Structure 1
């Protein structure tokens, strides 16, 4: 698995970013601004679906490691919440 798309249900808290806006963002090339927004969305959303994304493919290895780390940490937190 080498590519990702971020998907949230409804709104991202505090930022009011709708799903359609996130999808437009994901289709853009992976610039630093987009990577920052991607990481912000990961940190704010409740639901993450991992599939394919041009953003991930166009990032540097360091950014990919950071994105992967945040995704896995987020998924672990979601699992812990469900177990409680």
Structure 2
């Protein structure tokens, strides 16, 4: 399962990440930063839960560590969640 755990693969499901960012402005900055990565087509923010989450959709395989690094540059953390519920 290395491919699924270490990458975001194209498709409708995407990959969900938890983050320690709380403010809407910070989440928007994270979203804009992630959208700079080649292959990212959409970042959906979920501000209704704690910790906040965002889901990344791609049109090609993108490494999870690339997304984590982009979020770290903004000053926050991104923790990938399980790919599929058990």
Please say whether Structure 1 and Structure 2 have the same fold, judged by a TM-score greater than 0.5: no
> Which gives a bigger RCO, structure 1 or 2 (Cα 8 Å, sep 6+)?
2
Q: Which has the larger radius of gyration?
A: 1
Larger % of helix: which? 1
Larger % of strand: which? 2
Q: TM-score, normalised by structure 2?
A: 0.30
